[in-house]
Amino acid sequence: MNRAVVIALLVLVAGLSSAATVLIVNFRDAKNSTLTEEQRAVREKFFGSDKELPPIKDGQEMRPRW
């Protein structure tokens, strides 16, 4: 076999495996994406409401505490 043929086959196999991985991950996410009302209530209670956070006032920027 020629070196170019081997490289082309490797690229083809890598592309096919990447495409298969994306399809499998998207299929799993599509099944589990909907939450029941009970799950939404628990999530909202744990993480807080879905409202946006208030804007940061001047001088209150978040800085790391070094």
pLDDT tens digit sequence for 19-29: 999 888 877 66
Task: Give the pLDDT score at 29.
Answer: 66
Reported as a pLDDT band with limits 50, 70 and 90, residue 31 is: low
Q: Is residue 53 part of a domain?
A: no
Q: Is the pLDDT of residue 9 over 70?
A: yes
Q: How many domains does the chain contain in total?
A: 1
Tell me the C-alpha distance between 33 and 27, whole Å. 10
pLDDT above 90 as % of the chain: 30
pTM equals: 0.44
CA angle (58 as vertex; 56, 60 as ends), nearest 5: 60
Residue 7 within a domain: yes
User: Given pLDDT bands bounded at 50, 70 and 90, which one contains residue 60?
Assistant: low
